[in-house]
Amino acid sequence: MKTNKGEWKYHVILIISVALLFYPLIYMVTTSFKTLNQIFSAGLNLITTNPTMENYHTVFSSLSVGKFLINSLIIALIVMSCKIITSVLAAYALVFMDLKHSNLLFNLFTISMFIPFSVIMIPNFLTLSKLGLMNTLLGVALPQFADAMGIYRIRQAMRTIPKSLVEAARIDGTGHFTSLRRIVFPLVKPSVVAMCIFFFINSWNEYIWPMLILKREEMYTITLALQVFLDTESGSAWGSSMALASIATLVPMVLYILAQRQIIGTFMQSGVKE
């Protein structure tokens, strides 16, 4: 395979970009195996000369890590399930049903993606407070039951399917839900799987919103539990914080590695057939 002589410049840029992106992650993991003295004496050095499991022992002995993982898992599964259901149903309606002003509805969905979270944060907080859902896992998940990004991505995937397939099924008397289940869904399944992973990871990594809703420690998510080791007055336990952060990162990293092809394909597919 012939390559252009100037391509090495792009490879250098890519290598530098990857190094900058992965350096904090590698530093987090290696620091979790260092003592406090080693952390401050080593600076930004990634190499751990005498690794220790002391930080992980501190995390598991002082916190209910299993409980926090379960809380994060419950919220992430609820959010993922509701988002993917609403996204698939909305995308199908926009593509295969003769809705009046469907393009306008789609544009409104798209515009909502650009609304900052800080704008809707206070209204959501007040609504959940009046509903009595503070300090509950449902309170964290409820405002996230629909997602404009999911509607957009899955709609783009469905637009690659010939409408004649669904129209033929409709002529034979097949209902919309049957058409969606037997015809459309199998063809967009990779995109649906990718968006499931995307939704799950986003929900798992949330920090600000759970911090506003959950005040009791037993209801904490795994990311929210990080604040237990961060104290500006008595000093932060950096080694334990890095250990807990490494544990919190493990689940989304594994999910992304397993579904990276579907995720990349879905984002590439979103530019097809505008």
Sequential pLDDT tens for the chain (274 residues): 455 666 778 888 989 998 888 898 899 999 889 888 888 887 777 777 788 899 899 889 888 889 999 999 999 999 999 999 999 999 999 999 888 888 888 888 888 888 888 889 999 999 999 999 999 999 999 999 999 999 998 998 899 888 888 888 888 888 889 999 999 999 998 889 888 988 999 999 999 999 999 988 889 999 998 887 776 444 568 888 889 999 999 888 888 887 777 677 666 655 544 4
Backbone dihedral region of 235: left (phi > 0), alpha (psi from -120 to 50 degrees) or beta? left
Q: Which residue has the tokens 């393009």?
A: 103
- pLDDT attached to residue 62: 84
Residue type, 235: G
Q: Backbone dihedral region of 19: left (phi > 0), alpha (psi from -120 to 50 degrees) or beta?
A: alpha
The C-alpha atoms of residue 268 and residue 262 are separated, in whole angstroms, by 10
For residue 85, the model assigns a pLDDT of 95
Q: Quick one: pLDDT at residue 267?
A: 63
The C-alpha atoms of residue 181 and residue 164 are separated, in whole angstroms, by: 16
Burial group, residue 17, by CB count within 10 angstroms (0-12, 13-18, 19+): exposed
Q: What is the pLDDT of residue 227?
A: 81
Q: What would the two tokens of residue 170 be? A: 């409709």
Residue 11 carries which side chain, given as an amino acid letter? H
DSSP state of 101: T
Cβ–Cβ < 8 Å for 84, 192: yes
Quick check: pTM over 0.75? yes
pLDDT of residue 1: 47
State the pLDDT at residue 5: 62
Q: Name every residue whose Cβ is closer than 8 Å to that of residue 151 and which is 6 or more positions away in sequence.
A: 86, 87, 90, 91, 94, 106, 109
Q: Say if CB 222 and CB 72 are below 8 A apart.
A: yes
